[in-house]
Structure 1
Amino acid sequence: MRIGIDFDNTIACYDGVFHAAALERGLIPADLGRDKNSVRDHLNGSGRKDDFTELQGYVYGARMDLVSPYPGFAEFVAASRKAGHDLFIVSHKTKHPILGPQHDMHAAARGFLTDRALMGPGEAQIAPERVFFELTKEEKVARAKALACEVFIDDLPEILGMSGFPVGMHKVLFDPENQFADKAAQYDRRASWAEIAADFARARV
């Protein structure tokens, strides 16, 4: 089975990262909520929208060392490879930040995958040539179609709802924060990589 996987907020977990990076740069009070939305709302609400935009580039380009894979993702990769599935990472992000230093965010994401032994030539890794970072959502969907993905896993229902994916593709909504209970009828909604691993360990090619 050919399985496509999103990257940001699907593989890479940013819990607490924006808070830590914003504190590091002196942008927020220490007692602010640790989630990304609290940081964004604080900066946007105080007229510092550009600071948040630059913060995103800083995190995605320079501080991926603060980021961890979601629990269970490495085990999912190992189990899926053992079951004979073909895994692809297909995500979208601009290559350089809109504001601030021009970090290569594609290279930073690949470095994250390599440093955590998720990408490489091993039997329990995803091959580098099967990792794609596209510049737009439309190009992401087109890539999934070109790869003939039979399954796609993403944290955003608006991505899974886009036209252009392969006909009949199985769509899995990764929802660890239980934000999209109302989407359960449209997509297979899963709260953890352990759940997803169990699904596909049984679905051998």
Structure 2
Amino acid sequence: MRIGIDFDNTIACYDGVFHAAALERGLIPRGLARDKNSVRDHLNGSGRKDDFTELQGYVYGARMDLVSPFPGFAEFIGVAQGAGHELFIVSHKTRRPILGPRHDMHAAARGFLEARGLIGQGAARIDPARVFFELTKEEKVARAAELGVDMFVDDLPEILAMPGFPLGMRKVLFDPDDQFAGRAEDASKLDRRSSWAAISADIGREQS
């Protein structure tokens, strides 16, 4: 089986990262809640929307060292490839930030994958030639179709609902915070999973 995997908020976990980066830049009070949405809402609500836009470019381009993979993802690679499945990372993001220093966010994401030992040679790593960062969500879907993936894992139901994916592809909604419980997966025919351990258990039972 050929499995496509999104990157941001599917492999890369940003819990607490935007809060730490915003504190580092003096943008928020220390007592603000640590989630990304609280940081965004605080800055947008105080008329500093551009500050949040620039903060995103800073995190995705310069501070990927603050980011960790979601628990269980590294183990998933070994389980999946050990069962004979082929793994592809297919994501979309602009190459450069809209505001602020012109970081290469594609290179930063690849650097994160390399530094965390998630890509490289060997059964427990994904082949770097199978990592694709596209500029738009439409190009992301087209790449998944070109690769002929049998399954795709993404944290956004709207991406999985887009036309253009291979017919019959299994759509797995990665939902670690259970924010879509009882909602999007019913309408979009998605398989919702809250952890990489659950996804590993699924595919470990399926041969390539």
User: TM-score normalized by structure 1?
Assistant: 0.99
Shift of 1:183: 2.1
Question: Aligned equivalents of 2:27 and 2:39: distance in 1?
Answer: 9
Superposed, which structure 2 residues align to 1:5-44 within 5 Å? 5-44=5-44
Task: Report SS of the residue matched to 1:87.
Answer: strand
Question: Aligned equivalents of 1:111 and 1:122: distance in 2?
Answer: 18
Task: Report SS of the residue matched to 1:184.
Answer: helix
- For 2:193, the aligned partner's letter is R
Q: Which residue of 1 aligns with 2:57?
A: 57
Q: Considering only aligned residues, what root-mean-square deviation do their CA atoms show, in Å?
A: 0.5
Q: In percent, how many aligned pairs have the same letter?
A: 76
Question: Aligned equivalents of 1:96 and 1:184: distance in 2?
Answer: 33
Question: Aligned equivalents of 2:102 and 2:122: distance in 1?
Answer: 32
User: TM-score normalized by structure 2?
Assistant: 0.98
Question: Aligned equivalents of 2:122 and 2:51: distance in 1?
Answer: 40
- Kindly tell me the number of residue pairs found equivalent between the two proteins: 205
Name stretches of at least 5 consecutive residues in structure 1 with no aligned partner: none
**Residues 115-172 of structure 1: per-residue CA shift (max 9 Å, x gap):** 0000001111000000000000000000000000000000000000000000110000
Shift of 1:184: 3.1
Superposed, which structure 2 residues align to 1:1-205 within 5 Å? 1-181=1-181, 182-185=183-186, 186-205=189-208
Name stretches of at least 5 consecutive residues in structure 2 with no aligned partner: none
Shift of 1:197: 0.3
Question: Aligned equivalents of 1:171 and 1:70: distance in 2?
Answer: 19
Moved over 4 A (4+): none
Question: Aligned equivalents of 2:46 and 2:176: distance in 1?
Answer: 30
Question: Aligned equivalents of 2:29 and 2:124: distance in 1?
Answer: 42
